[in-house]
Amino acid sequence: MELITLIARGSSCTIIAAMAWLLPLHAASQENATKAQTEAENQDEIQKASGSTPSALGVRQQRVERMMNDLEQKFINLSQKLKASEPERANRLIETLQEAKQLLIQKRMGDISDLLGSTNLEAATAEQQRVIQDLRLLIRMLLDDSLDDQKRRQEEKERLERWRKEIQAIIREELPQERESQKLSDVDGTLQTLEEKISAVGQLIERQVAVNQQTEEAKGRGLQAVDQAANSQHEVRQQTEAVERSLADPQSGDQQSGDPQSGDPQSGDPQSGDPQSSDPQSSDPQSDQSPPKPKGPGQQKLKEASRNQRDAEQRLSGGEAEEAKENQQQALNALNEAVEELKKERERIANLPPEATEALAEEQLETRDRTAQLDDQMKTAPSASPTEAGESSSSQSSPGQSQIAKAQQQMENAANRLQNQDAEGANREQNEAIKNLNEALEEIENRLSQLKEETQEEKLARLGARFTEMLARQQVVSAQTLELDEKQIATGTLRRSDRLALAKLAAEENALAEMSQEAYDLLVEDGTSVVFPRIVEDLKTDLQQCADGLKKQRTDSLTQLVQSEVETTLEELISALQRAQKEKQENDEGGGSSGGGGGGNQPLLPPSAELKALRSAQMRVNRRTKQVDQLREVITTDPQIRAEIQNLFGRQAKIVEMTDEMIEKMRQGQ
């Protein structure tokens, strides 16, 4: 029933889990057959030694055979259901089923049942081992179900990122042209506006000179006079910021957000500190959809002036009048340079030649050609797969492609209007082109965000299937280790067949360690988890420790303790991944953080899962420390015990380090 329930959920990932769940049943049958074969070595007659065991083993093997038959039927049913909506996944299921038929797994399971029935335990055990390996091969095939999807997604991601950068570059080209056509459409109005700005900055210069003089006079008059100078500097800085905002082009979105009068660096004021800090999206590597806007004449110099005014204000507030004078002079220099830039712009506009619109038209045609090249790339690019977009590929186009095509046409219209001396009409077309370019950028950002969500869901499924398989295999190794330890205690020695069995168990532990390394690499590649990669890294260390112990024929309490901790760790990892998958599904159904371009850099595992994993890691160290301490009371001279104590010391230090990183991560996320 458990298998049927798993399959009924209807995805290849649950089929992987079902097959991984099937493995220990088949392996248990093999284990019993091996045990019966080993006991038979001490008997004169195999038939007598086996007694009723073959019958019982045969029944269990037949049960596994029936479950495999059930599984194949579920493969067929699920692939048929997926044909319409997810044809590629359906094909992958069919390919896996065909591979299972080529490997003759179900027939070979029947042969094993016959071998067990005829008490040919050695041949049955060998064939069981081969079937287990083939089952693992099928699991690998399903684990690689998404290899083609992953490759396609990665290619699409790289393609979209290239397009995003190209659109940003086109916008940076188009904005100055739009500004220039706006000026050409109303030369008289532009000149009047420039005169007003020149006058406004001139007044700022006069006020800054007055504040500089006030600061000089306040130096010998005490802190109260210096504080008054700080207040005066604050007022001039606010006025400078207001003029700087008035120079920004509203069409370009270059005006500042936040309270313009507050002067609070947290309110979106770019004057504080590093200019980069003014970008509200600078902390998110995927939210750079708004390219840097070109600054108008005098605007950047006014920004520099306001930054120096802020520094002078802060120094005056601290009673450092002499130090503030340097910042005030730098502010005054920047204001004078701003005036010069505005005057040069006034001179340029006043003396524009008649062919200015034709020259601008040529620039516009060059930008149109660049946009046309991007449009061609988008038209010929592979469409998103039906599994990703949920519709037929024939009806799909690249994200943003229709907007890029519109922008291209609008740029051509603008160039034609400029050639006909219609700067006002050209400006309208350019405004629409910029609007469409930004919409295309938004669509690309949304698709990139969606791709990341799909990739994360795939990673969670792959990790869950991998850990499920590892747990099933570890449980078999742990059971056989316990059995061999009991045999060694009872007889005081191990037979040659037992030593060979231990070597196989050691090899299996090493194989599981390699699987944990693959999981670790996947988590590190994702780069959003603090705790999980370290836990998987410790898991690999434990598996290697088990392998080393089994190579040395150590089946004692310490080896069994580490094996038990491996199983516990895997169970906790599987549980955490299942919770994370459920949370993502709930977010998807509820329209949570998974959609849209504003989701930011969403982690593979939520902070709650990380914190629970951290807590579980601490509990494992506590439990293991107590158990090792009990062993130390019995075995005081064993170097392995001392090594284990040192290992636990290192893990406790690592937990402290992870806790600090999680606190910092959560602080940054506030």
pLDDT, residue 305, reads: 94
| Domain final residue, candidates 297, 332, 350 | 350
Parts of the chain with a pLDDT under 70:
1-86, 88-90, 92-107, 109, 113, 115-119, 121, 124, 127-129, 131-150, 249-294, 383-396, 587-602, 633-637, 669-670
**Total Cβ atoms within 10 A of residue 27:** 23
Rounded Cα–Cα distance for residues 349 and 364 (Å): 19
Q: How far apart are CA 522 and CA 499, in angstroms?
A: 35
In this predicted structure, what is the pLDDT of residue 525?
A: 78
Give residue 282's domain range. Answer: 186-350
Q: Which residues contact 515 (CB under 8 A, 6 or more apart)?
A: 466, 469, 470
Amino acid 540: pLDDT: 92
Please check whether residue 305 lies inside any domain of the structure. yes
Contacts of 172 (CB under 8 A, 6+ apart): 291, 292, 294
Q: What is the pLDDT of residue 181?
A: 92
Instruction: Count CB atoms within 10 A of the CB of residue 624.
Output: 20
Report pTM: 0.57
What confidence score (pLDDT) does residue 374 get? Answer: 93
DSSP 3-state of 118: coil
> Which pLDDT score, from 0 to 100, does residue 343 have?
94
Angle, CA of 575, 577 and 581, to the nearest 5°: 120
User: CA end-to-end span of the chain, whole Å?
Assistant: 46
Q: 560 lies in a domain?
A: yes
How many Cβ atoms from other residues are within 10 Å of residue 452's Cβ? 20
Report if residue 192 sits inside a domain.
Answer: yes
Instruction: Tell whether 6 is covered by a domain.
Output: no
Q: What is d(CA 459, CA 465) in angstroms, rounded to the nearest whole number?
A: 10
**What ranges in 351-393 are assigned the alpha helix state H?**
356-380, 386-389
**Which helix (H) or strand (E) covers residue 590, if one does?**
none
- Tokens read off for 627: 């158990």
**Residue 251 has which token pair?**
């069409």
What's the CA gap between 491 and 435, in Å, rounded?
84
Closest-CA residue to 246 (of 299, 188, 204, 199): 299
Instruction: From 350, 367, 394, give the residue that closes a domain.
Output: 350
CA-based Rg of the chain, rounded to a whole angstrom? 36
Do the domain assignments include residue 83? no
Query: What phi and psi values does residue 494 have, to the nearest 5 degrees?
Result: -125, 135
How high is the pLDDT of residue 267?
Answer: 37
Q: How far apart are CA 143 and CA 462, in angstroms?
A: 6
Answer yes or no: is 54 within a domain. no
For 396, phi then psi, to 5°, come to -100, 155
CATH number at residue 282: 1.20.120
* Selection from 220, 224, 208 nearest residue 312 by Cα: 208
Q: Where are the alpha helices (DSSP H) in 186-222?
A: 187-218
Question: Taking a C-beta distance cutoff of 8 angstroms, is the pair 472, 516 a contact?
Answer: no
d(CA 75, CA 294) in angstroms, rounded, equals: 58
Overall residue count recorded for the chain in this entry? 670
Does some domain include residue 327?
yes
User: Quick check: is 68 in a domain?
Assistant: no
pLDDT of residue 384: 53
> Minimal CA–CA distance to 271: which of 309, 233, 243, 234?
309
- CA–CA distance from 492 to each of 372, 487, 489, 497 (Å)? 82, 8, 5, 15
Q: How many structural domains is the chain composed of? A: 2
Among 297, 329, 350, identify where a domain stops. 350
DSSP letter at 567 equals: H
